[in-house]
Amino acid sequence: MIDKRTTLANALDGLTSGMTIMVGGWGSCAIPSTLIRRLAELDVRDLTIIHTGVRSVGPVVAADRVRRVVTSFASYARGERADEFAERYSAGRIEAELCSQGILAERIRAGGAGVPAFYVERRFVGSFALSRLSATIDGKDCVLQTALHADFALVRATQADTFGNLRFDMGDRNFNAVMARAADLVVAEVGEIVPVGQLHPETVVTPGIFVTRLVPDRPAEVAEAVTR
Between strands 166-167 and 150-161, the pairing is: antiparallel
Backbone angles phi, psi at 131, to 5 degrees: 65, 25
Structural domains in the chain plus CATH codes: 8-100+147-225 (3.40.1080.10)
Find the largest Cα–Cα distance for the chain.
61
Report pLDDT for 224: 44
Distance separating alpha carbons of residues 217 and 225, to the nearest angstrom: 11
pTM of the predicted structure, to 2 decimals: 0.89
pLDDT digits (tens, 9 = 90+) for 36-79: 999 999 999 999 999 998 888 989 999 999 999 999 887 655 55
Report pLDDT for 219: 56
pLDDT(222) > 70: no
Report pLDDT for 90: 87
Report pLDDT for 220: 52
Q: Cα–chain-centroid distance for residue 137?
A: 32
Please report, rounded to a whole number, the percentage of residues in the chain having pLDDT higher than 70: 89
Do residues 65 and 38 make contact, with C-beta atoms less than 8 angstroms apart?
no
pLDDT(182) > 60: yes
Report pLDDT for 55: 82
Distance separating alpha carbons of residues 70 and 165, to the nearest angstrom: 27
Do residues 24 and 174 make contact, with C-beta atoms less than 8 angstroms apart?
yes
Burial-class residue 86 by CB neighbours within 10 Å (0-12, 13-18, 19+).
middle
pLDDT(165) > 50: yes
Distance separating alpha carbons of residues 6 and 160, to the nearest angstrom: 13
Report pLDDT for 227: 37
pLDDT(226) > 60: no
Report pLDDT for 16: 97
Distance separating alpha carbons of residues 138 and 201, to the nearest angstrom: 41
pLDDT digits (tens, 9 = 90+) for 95-154: 999 888 899 999 999 999 999 999 999 888 876 666 578 899 999 999 999 999 999 999
Rounded mean pLDDT, 166-178: 92
3-state secondary structure of 175: helix
pLDDT(197) > 60: yes
Q: Distances in Å between the alpha carbon of 44 and those of 18, 19, 55, 127, 189?
A: 8, 9, 20, 33, 21
CB atoms within 10 A of CB 119: 18
Report pLDDT for 100: 87
**Which of 59-68, 89-98, 218-227 comes out lowest in average pLDDT?**
218-227
pLDDT(192) > 80: yes
Report pLDDT for 128: 67
Report pLDDT for 78: 55
DSSP character at residue 150:
E
pLDDT band at residue 221 using 50, 70 and 90 as cut-offs:
very low
